[in-house]
Amino acid sequence: MLALMNDGGAIVNTGSNSALDTGTASGYSSYASQKGAVHVLTRCWAKELAPRRIRVNAVAPGSTRTRIVDDIFTRMPEVIPPVVETIPLGRIGEPEDIGRVIAFRLSEAGGWITGQVIEASGGQGL
């Protein structure tokens, strides 16, 4: 994939706030470890691809309404209130919330940012 990518491009990997210091929770060790590897890969690629002017960043979403865990927020809406209590902005994230962060990271507006993992979680874990 990288050999086919034009110089001057941008990559945004998807990590998780579960792999950040503020997101560690019991029962997520395998998932958090895998996402932590994505965060490390992001920083390594940022250095390795810098000579080609390829920016590499990651977004670390918090609890977001997706199909993860078999669409749990739709199947079991009773799990939403306790999760929302951990989010200062007071709601579960939507895919569009994460998409806007990714779009910013890919845009020229994010052109001076590389090697960073940004948490997009509504403040979950603060």
Q: Which residues are catalytic?
A: 31
Closest CA to 116 of 100, 104, 125, 99: 104
From CA 113, how far away is CA 43, in angstroms rounded?
11
From CA 65, how far away is CA 72, in angstroms rounded?
8
The dihedrals phi and psi of 96, each to the nearest 5 degrees, come to -65, -35
From CA 116, how far away is CA 92, in angstroms rounded?
24
Reduce the DSSP state of residue 124 to 3 states and report it: coil
